[in-house]
Structure 1
């Protein structure tokens, strides 16, 4: 009976040690996952910022084009108006 108890204790100690190692490995893996997810967030943020900048540039170009278009229409009205009078 004493040998069985000793064997169970040794087995219990080995299991505890393996569990501790597994928990440490798991923590290391979770840390890597956290690093990867923060890197992914950084990439997504960078991409979103880039898309935002592109949208702002596009809006600026469209606005400038519209201003030029409005001036051209205004000049056409002016020429048409002065031609009639």
Structure 2
């Protein structure tokens, strides 16, 4: 797997597929201490991912402050030759 180390942190590229559209996100931080996966919502709008009334939302907190996030199941995410469906 192609992992780019920047300032000692691991970064990869991820392709997200949603409703017959896909986008490749570069410089995605692999957060080995996180219990979940978070992508920047502004980037995913390009393939039609928006919060919808039936989506679950919550506030998360981190070292940079707090943020409201929404949960969405995508068709797949792909990291090189690894593909995870209904992620």
TM-score normalised by structure 2 residue count = 0.13
Higher relative contact order (CA 8 A, sep 6+): 2
TM-score normalised by structure 1 residue count = 0.13
User: Higher strand share goes to which structure?
Assistant: 2
Q: In terms of Rg, which structure is larger? A: 1
User: Higher helix share goes to which structure?
Assistant: 1
